[in-house]
Structure 1
Amino acid sequence: MIASVAVVGHQNNPLYLQSFTEADDALKLHHIVHCSLDVIDERVNNPKKSVLTLNESFLGLLYPTESYKVYGYLTNTKVKFLMVTTDLNVKDADVRSFFRRFHAAYVDAVSNPFHVPGKKIASRTFAKRMSGIVKGFSPGTNG
């Protein structure tokens, strides 16, 4: 189950954060997302130590905790997508598929002529689409 998704700008400014759990966990999930940004910066800035290649957007597992796993994705414009999941046995292929749909939804949201680049995403359509993508995420289907 996906607990939270986030979009973070190229200057580590939060553009979108949605939690799919109880309100008590929202702050904890926000903290976990913030901690994961350090891992992304380390992987991007130290390519020799990382397996990240120039044309690879999927960053893989970033930050495992006792009850959550955080996966990351980096766009060409250095916008970061993060997914926090409670399913500790999710496959990379499923996560890649999720991020492809997530990226398509993001592109549609920022292509709106009323969206100001670099500002928070306040689109209700984007929020609904993300909720649908999260609800449709079922590991093992590779859709």
Structure 2
Amino acid sequence: MLAYARALLTGSEQGRTAYLAADLRDPGLILDAAELRGVLDFHRPIALFLVAVLHFLTGADQPRALVRRLLDGLPSGSYLVVSHATGDQAPPGVGAIVETYATTAAPLVLRGLADVCRFFDGTDVLDPGVVRLPLWKPDTPPTDPETV
């Protein structure tokens, strides 16, 4: 995958992209990486996307502290985007999925909405706030918000 990504990540100065193979549990390595410093302008706001990754960090990994360390390393005005599997209103069968992941090197940790909101402590959360994905800026409102 890394070789494929590197082949795809060549482009013009306006469209430069970097790929960094790193462990999210080492935010210092990420923030200091030459690959990032060569592409991102740390004098301007940066968007940090932690999509479909935080639910693979256990409490022992201290995920909120990791997010805070990454945010603290970014310029003022930067943005944080998070998606996270949650146990709130979980569909039937999700317990079996969690059990399956528990047998792997990356267990699935379902956090509740209140816990997910804590990743944003110390930030200004934009409207509509921390909500379930179908409720975030929907083109059309869901027919039954209890089922999304």
TM-score range for the pair, normalised by the shorter chain length: under 0.3
Higher strand share: 1
TM-score, with normalisation over the residues of structure 1? 0.25
- Answer with 1 or 2: which has the greater Rg: 2
TM-score, with normalisation over the residues of structure 2? 0.24
